[in-house]
Structure formats: structure tokens, C-alpha cells
């Protein structure tokens, strides 16, 4: 059996994963990246609008960015972490520019900005409406330049824990169906969000909560998982995203009466209020009969064809392809749709989790900088700032410890799981049917508006599906590129993660950020200015715990836009 060993192993090759890899390599570690899809297929691609930073050289002030972020988080974000993110944002953006990102410029050739939701000034740097893709490819260019080992199309099936430390992973090589052990002194999870736990979702088919599931399996707590962002502008049919940049450039939201209804809900910031607020406003309009076929309208006609074709070309293409709408000519029906998980694997500001040797960064982690609601264009920032920090810290850590010896035989556990999947092939259930049922239940019960009964119903469904999952078989018995087997593994991660979302949501007895309960509509700072931690302790059901929110400078205030 081939021996694979590295100082640092990064799981996932989106923005956080690649940034972590480059940082660890620069810090002198032998680093490798393992990813179930080629790096440029990662879902960071789909981020459209931009990346926030208060550039001091532009007269902006990172304090203001931090305050906007704290307020956006509905005061659930840890303010020490938010301060770090906002302070490091400027250098991070400049660093990306130096790598080659073709950020939009102003007439003087300096970095240009656009306005984004929840920010009082325009501090979002962007590449048309393909910012995520531009960043992802630029980071991959750096990967090609520095050439770390990439285990491409390898899927991590479990983390290896010895002596209470994470010291590697077991992974399935998709091309051959072989199971491998990769030893590492430090493992950084950077696997992205939870989108496919919901149906529909803006997220790609690969966004299956792998990191959350892996961490949960080994007892690492997931924090604030109830905070699930519904993006205000997603297409009706397949749930594809229409960037917030469309509103940042001046787009309107209209109801069936042609009114800019946001004036009722956020008279100052209108369409650029924070996402939770806009999504709730839209859903209220729809619920009260001022929607059109379950949607409201995104109207960009007044922006003119030229702006649309230069700065919003991709969403124009998406609207044409999937909704038959030319944005320059007609308004586009949109609705709130599952988009982002604010919660995740609990880490400190260096990506360190509760398990020595295990790190997390990016959407799968919760530092927490987004709290109850993430502001648009803060997610790309989160990935590069905390990806880099995790990479540096993990490299340092790896120098201080010896590799724990792990017997090769450890892979037999996962080989056994695969065999067991194959053995159950007579069961006709499929990963797709279970996933669809899960996604619909979550979208029904744990969406924009929630209440006890709805959340309980969703949780009940998830528990039933987990039971069905135990009997799930894999029907393709091949070794080469067996996606049936891959989906069976992914589904296990998703079901565990969906459970943590339900449990957290049921635990939070107030409304805050994206967690809005119609049966408890008020924020309760006295009792609920705290994080919710959900953990697997080996029992049937997860345990719930709490931890305080770090407040440095900004005491909670009434949140209005």
C-alpha cells in the first residue's frame, strides 16, 4: 500500500482550501490538497458580487466595516474575529490583486468598488459578476505555479483520530475506487457549505456538508447551525443565484403592484438592507398576496443595456438560459432561496477546532464572523483571510509535533463501510430519493420563516431518513468513478448536518438574524446572546451546549436598515 504523508493536508480546494494550501506552503510546510472535484470546479465559483474590504488608502475605515458586519450578524458574530477579518481585508484584497485578479478599476486605474447590502459605503471590490470564479482561477494559477501535491478527485470518507489528535484522513480515489490512508500532522477542513441539505438551493451539486459531517463524526462541535441564509434573489426553477450586485448597481425589487416594497421594511437602505431582512420582506409580500406565482420581481431595466452587459453579463446569461428573461428588457421573477450556512465547525481565529490537529476554514467553519446573518461579499473575504490564517497556524503546529503512527489497517473500517453498501444492493432506496426528501423537508421547516411545529416536522423527517439511510445500498458495483458510492457517503454527511441544523434551530428560542420564528418573533438579548453548540457524543441524539458571544466594542442595538 502506498504511503502518503504530509505535514499539512487541506481537504477541499475552493478559495479557503487553496488559500490555506498556499499559506502553509509559504510557511515551509509540506502541504497537500485533497479534493473531490478539480479545484476550479469548486463552488467558490458561484460567488458573483464581490469581496468586501475597507481600504485605508481609499480613506475607508475598517472599524466601519466591522460595525456593519456586527450589525449584519444581528450581534451574534464574535467581535474579536470580525475585527481581525476587517483589519486584514485590505491587505488580503491587495494580495489577490497581486496574484493577478482582474479587479474592476476606477478611471484612475485604482481598484473600483460597488455598493453591497448592509454596508454604509461602497467597499465591495469585484470582477464584473464573476468575482468568485475570477478569484478561484487566480488562486488555482498560484497552485499551478507553486505546484503542491493535489489529490484530485479523491473523496475523504473519514478523519483519522489517534490519541485524541487528528492525524490524517481515509479517502476514496474516484478513478480507481481504491481506499487510501493519507497521514498528516494537521488536517484543514475547507469543504464549503451545506446547500444540498436543502432543495432547492443556489449551491452546486457538490456542496454536501462533507467537512461538517466529518467533524461531527469525530465529536467536534458545530456552532450556530440554525443560521441558514436564504438569498433574496434566486431563480424560481432551479434556484440559481442572481447576484446581490444587481441591487448594488441600483436594481429594484418590485411586488405585483409594481411597488418598491422595501420602502415598507427598510426605508433607508431599501434593496440593500441585509439579506435576512430582504428575504423576509419578499416572503411577506409573497405570503400576503403581492407576489407573482410565488416570486417577486428583480427589475434592472433602468440600468441600461450597457451596464448589464458589462457588469452583470453572467446573470444576464443565466436569466436568459434558465428563465427566458432578458434583463435589459423585462423584470425577472426571483424569490428567496437557500444560499449559505453561517454556522459551522467551531474554530478560533486561527482555524483551530476543539480537536488538536484539526482545523477548519471557509464556509464549513464558524469563526464566527457572520453570526446570525452574513453580509454579501463577506464570504469571499472570510475564505481568504481565515484560509490563510489556518494554513499558517497549521504549518507552525506541524513543526512542533511528530507524526503519530497510524496503522495502514485503519482503512479497513471504511472498506467495510463500502462493502456494507454493496451488500445492501437489494434495497431499492437511492441516495437521490432520500436527499430530495431531506431537501424538501428542510426547505419546508427550516427556511425564512420558522415555528416550533414546522421545525419539529422537519426534524422528524430527518430522523426517519437517517433510519432509511442505515439500510441504503449502492447499486453500481464498479470501481471506476462510482458516483453512486460517492453519493451514498455524501448523503451520510448531509443527514448528520441536517440534524444539527434542526437541533440548533429548535434550541434557539428567539428570532435573530436568519433564524426567524413566527412563534417567537423578538430578539432576546438577555437570554440568547450566545452561540449554540451541537455535538456528537456517540449517543443516538446530539447534545446541545452554549458558549458566550465575544463583544468588544459594539453592544447590541435595535437593528433597522
| Residue choice 15, 18, 34, 134 for contact with another protein (CB under 8 A) | 134
Task: List the end-to-end C-alpha distance of the chain, in Å, as a whole number.
Answer: 59
Q: Is 509 in the site for another protein (CB under 8 A)?
A: no
Residue 223 contacts residue 89 (beta carbons within 8 Å):
no
- State the minimum distance, in angstroms, from the CB of residue 345 to another protein: 22
| Residue choice 1, 102, 413, 453 for contact with another protein (CB under 8 A) | 102
83: left (phi over 0), alpha (psi -120 to 50) or beta: alpha
| Residue choice 86, 240, 395, 441 for contact with another protein (CB under 8 A) | 240
Q: Is 338 in the site for another protein (CB under 8 A)?
A: no
Q: Is 237 in the site for another protein (CB under 8 A)?
A: yes
Cell numbers describing residue 519: 412563534
- State the minimum distance, in angstroms, from the CB of residue 112 to another protein: 7
Sequence-distant (≥ 6) Cβ neighbours of residue 279 within 8 angstroms = 230, 231, 232, 336, 448
Q: Is 206 in the site for another protein (CB under 8 A)?
A: yes
Nearer to another protein, 81 or 143 (CB): 143
- State the minimum distance, in angstroms, from the CB of residue 155 to another protein: 13
Sequence-distant (≥ 6) Cβ neighbours of residue 335 within 8 angstroms = 234, 236, 282, 283, 286, 291, 294, 295, 296
- Residue by residue, DSSP assigns 284-337 as HHHHTT-SBTTBEEEE-GGG-HHHHHHHSHHHHHHHHHHH---TTTS-EEEEEE
How far is 361 from 352, CA to CA, in rounded Å?
9
Instruction: Determine the 3-state secondary structure of 125 from DSSP.
Output: strand
Nearer to another protein, 109 or 289 (CB): 109
- State the minimum distance, in angstroms, from the CB of residue 368 to another protein: 27
Nearer to another protein, 296 or 323 (CB): 323
Cell numbers describing residue 210: 462533507
CA distances from residue 323 to 44, 82, 318, 326, 417 in whole angstroms, order as listed: 23, 38, 8, 9, 42
Helical residues (DSSP H) of 152-294, grouped into ranges: 210-217, 245-248, 262-265, 275-287
Binding flags for another protein, 423-442, as an x/- string (CB under 8 A): -------xxxx---------
Binding flags for another protein, 24-63, as an x/- string (CB under 8 A): -------------xx-xxxx-xx--------x-x------
> How many residues sit close enough to another protein to count as binding (CB under 8 A)?
66
Q: Is 231 in the site for another protein (CB under 8 A)?
A: no
Nearer to another protein, 100 or 416 (CB): 100
Residue 385 contacts residue 135 (beta carbons within 8 Å):
no
| Residue choice 100, 258, 416, 521 for contact with another protein (CB under 8 A) | 100
Nearer to another protein, 195 or 371 (CB): 195
Q: Is 148 in the site for another protein (CB under 8 A)?
A: no
CA distances from residue 46 to 43, 53, 243, 476, 529 in whole angstroms, order as listed: 6, 20, 9, 31, 32
Report 469-508 residues binding another protein (CB under 8 A).
Answer: 474-476, 478-484
Residue 30 contacts residue 375 (beta carbons within 8 Å):
no
Binding flags for another protein, 385-424, as an x/- string (CB under 8 A): ----------------------------------------
Instruction: Determine the 3-state secondary structure of 113 from DSSP.
Output: strand
Active site residue 305: no
Instruction: Look up cell 466594542; give the residue.
Output: 553
Sequence-distant (≥ 6) Cβ neighbours of residue 59 within 8 angstroms = none
Binding residues for another protein, per CB under 8 A?
37-38, 40-43, 45-46, 55, 57, 93-94, 97-100, 102-112, 127-128, 130, 133-134, 137, 141-142, 144-145, 175, 204-206, 237-238, 240-241, 310, 313-314, 317-318, 321-322, 430-433, 474-476, 478-484
Residues with active-site annotation: 275
Amino acid at each position: 500500500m502506498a504511503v502518503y504523508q504530509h505535514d499539512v493536508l487541506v481537504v477541499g480546494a475552493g478559495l479557503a482550501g487553496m488559500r490555506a494550501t498556499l499559506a502553509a506552503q509559504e510557511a515551509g510546510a509540506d502541504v497537500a490538497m485533497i479534493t473531490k472535484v478539480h479545484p476550479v470546479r469548486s463552488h467558490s465559483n458561484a460567488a458573483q458580487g464581490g469581496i468586501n474590504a475597507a481600504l485605508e488608502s481609499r480613506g475607508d475605515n475598517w472599524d466601519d466595516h466591522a460595525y456593519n458586519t456586527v450589525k449584519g450578524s444581528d450581534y451574534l458574530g464574535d467581535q474579536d474575529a470580525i475585527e481581525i477579518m476587517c483589519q486584514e481585508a485590505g491587505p488580503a484584497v491587495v494580495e489577490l490583486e497581486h496574484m493577478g485578479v482582474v479587479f474592476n478599476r476606477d478611471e484612475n486605474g485604482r481598484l473600483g468598488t460597488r455598493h453591497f447590502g448592509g454596508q454604509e459605503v461602497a467597499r465591495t471590490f469585484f470582477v464584473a459578476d464573476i468575482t468568485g470564479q475570477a478569484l478561484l482561477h487566480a488562486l488555482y494559477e498560484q497552485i499551478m505555479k507553486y505546484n503542491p501535491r493535489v489529490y484530485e478527485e479523491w473523496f475523504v470518507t473519514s478523519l483519522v483520530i489517534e490519541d485524541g489528535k487528528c492525524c490524517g484522513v481515509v479517502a476514496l480515489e474516484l478513478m480507481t475506487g481504491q481506499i487510501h490512508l493519507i497521514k498528516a500532522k494537521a488536517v484543514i477542513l475547507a469543504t464549503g457549505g451545506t446547500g444540498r441539505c436543502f432543495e432547492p438551493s443556489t449551491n452546486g451539486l457538490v456542496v454536501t456538508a462533507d467537512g461538517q459531517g466529518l467533524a461531527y463524526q469525530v465529536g467536534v462541535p458545530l456552532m450556530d447551525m440554525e443560521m441558514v441564509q436564504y438569498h433574496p434573489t434566486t431563480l424560481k426553477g432551479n434556484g440559481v443565484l442572481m447576484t446581490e450586485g444587481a441591487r448594488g448597481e441600483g436594481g429594484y425589487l418590485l411586488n405585483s403592484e409594481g411597488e418598491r416594497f422595501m420602502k415598507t421594511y427598510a426605508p433607508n437602505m431599501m434593496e440593500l438592507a441585509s439579506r435576512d431582512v430582504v428575504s423576509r420582506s419578499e416572503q411577506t409580500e409573497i405570503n400576503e398576496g403581492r407576489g407573482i406565482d410565488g416570486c417577486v420581481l428583480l427589475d434592472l431595466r433602468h440600468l441600461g443595456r450597457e451596464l448589464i452587459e458589462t457588469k452583470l453579463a453572467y446573470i444576464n446569461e443565466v436569466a436568459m438560459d434558465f428563465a427566458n428573461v432578458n434583463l435589459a428588457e423585462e423584470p425577472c421573477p426571483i424569490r428567496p432561496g437557500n444560499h449559505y450556512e453561517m454556522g459551522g465547525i467551531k474554530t478560533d481565529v486561527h482555524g483551530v477546532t476543539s480537536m488538536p490537529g484539526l482545523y477548519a476554514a471557509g464556509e464549513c467553519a464558524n469563526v464566527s464572523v457572520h453570526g446570525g446573518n452574513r453580509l454579501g461579499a463577506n464570504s469571499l473575504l472570510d475564505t481568504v483571510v481565515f484560509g490563510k490564517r489556518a494554513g499558517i497556524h497549521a504549518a507552525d503546529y506541524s513543526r512542533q509535533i511528530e507524526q503519530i503512527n497510524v496503522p495502514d489497517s485503519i482503512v479497513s473500517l471504511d472498506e467495510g463501510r463500502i462493502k456494507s453498501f454493496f451488500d445492501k444492493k437489494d434495497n431499492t432506496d437511492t441516495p437521490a430519493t432520500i436527499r430530495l426528501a431531506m431537501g424538501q423537508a428542510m426547505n419546508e421547516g427550516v427556511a425564512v420563516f420558522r415555528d416550533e411545529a414546522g421545525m419539529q416536522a422537519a426534524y422528524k423527517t430527518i430522523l426517519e431518513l437517517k433510519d432509511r439511510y442505515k439500510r441504503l445500498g449502492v447499486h453500481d458495483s464498479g470501481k471506476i468513478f462510482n458516483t453512486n458510492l460517492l453519493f451514498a457517503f455524501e448523503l451520510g454527511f448531509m443527514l448528520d448536518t441536517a440534524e444539527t441544523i434542526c437541533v440548533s434551530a429548535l434550541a434557539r428560542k428567539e428570532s435573530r438574524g436568519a433564524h426567524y420564528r413566527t412563534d417567537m418573533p423578538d430578539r432576546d438579548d438577555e437570554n440568547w446572546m450566545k452561540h449554540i453548540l451541537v455535538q456528537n457524543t456517540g449517543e443516538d441524539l446530539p447534545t446541545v451546549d452554549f458558549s458566550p458571544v465575544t463583544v468588544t466594542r459594539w453592544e447590541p442595538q435595535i437593528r433597522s436598515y
